[in-house]
Structure 1
């Protein structure tokens, strides 16, 4: 029995969506990342659960070598609505077109954040949640059971419960094709996601109006390849598949950089 399916039904009822007010100091104009009008799009990465923005380092280097500006903000991992509001604030600092990239749970965040601004021209999903309105991470996890469901470790905190992956199985579940020493470091640096975030229902997704691309990891033990293909087809995303774990950004950075450049063009 998986961790998610063993929880009482009332726990799996979505928590009320958190809201995050975005404001600036009175009389002060928000800082903007300025780029020439003829510059390439800015690539903005949004990481998922059990990871952080540093994981995109190898992909970032390849994109910068090709002349792309890159931003990789920290995803709060508190809930899709509030996380999307935070990311949208970052996107508003970017002048010019944006290619918005989400990994794993970050896919649910970019689908909402892109609707709050007008300059996101392409969405790229990496082993990611491309949810439909009214659908949650838990809905996909129960429809397409994955190995991670039995590897989650709950940790209560004031106001809710956080989840991480058991370090003993982190590499096997999350990063099987990453060197053991690297995976061990990744396991110690996990960013926890709240249980409420995994149960929160998505709003109307941006992939219905913005062109999307999707990278499927054939060896993924977090979001199954079947789940990824299902979501990619539903979003009418241009799809590529690679032999990679859930940590495809670390094990296949070249393939990911190529997909992002394709989306940018």
Structure 2
């Protein structure tokens, strides 16, 4: 269990504590984590900043970083141009990549820069455990930020450093992060680290076609706990919705271990009907 609070402006300790309580209520447990310790401590990203800074030094020495002085307005103009978008937003056009040292020095007098990673010009390919073989065009998404102008490290850099340091072999996450994977694979290569295997599972969508979220009712774990819903009811609902069991029935998280197989998970997202929501909410 790792607490990813690298964005300190949006992270609160009381919410982190609640998240651990919710997961334990659901029936999940972990051998290592911020509340139990372990050989890869610390398990809270805000306590691992020195490791991210060391990774930046290595990338800098390899010539893969450059300062970016682009304003929000300039990036917004890029975002308004027609192009395909994923979770990572519009491709960065490389505006600051070719600045001379003199130009960088002059601009730094007026604005603190962010730090961008210069992607290479080769295509990125990997075999996803759910989505199948992926081949991403050279430089897709453009150079990306690894440290913001306000000093906060990016998610991309932090998870790569942490996963490698903690010996993570398999990453299973939502399909909305599929287009993050090529960026992370480039970081693994540049840092000379071994990447894990990736599997991206489809999202659940509400009756309105939007990603299932709080707007669809009291479906947060905290709300379900407070309503008196049994954790087995929630686990069974999630297992059925994700294809791990054939019918909706209460089941403990520990009982699902033997049922878990990646090939049971559909490759496209499921739309959760009003009837399914009623079953979850009782």
TM-score norm. by structure 1 comes to 0.28
TM-score norm. by structure 2 comes to 0.27
Which of structures 1 and 2 has the bigger CA Rg? 2
Comparing both structures, which one devotes a greater share of its residues to strand?
Answer: 1
Greater relative contact order: 1 or 2 (C-alpha under 8 angstroms, separation 6 or more)? 1
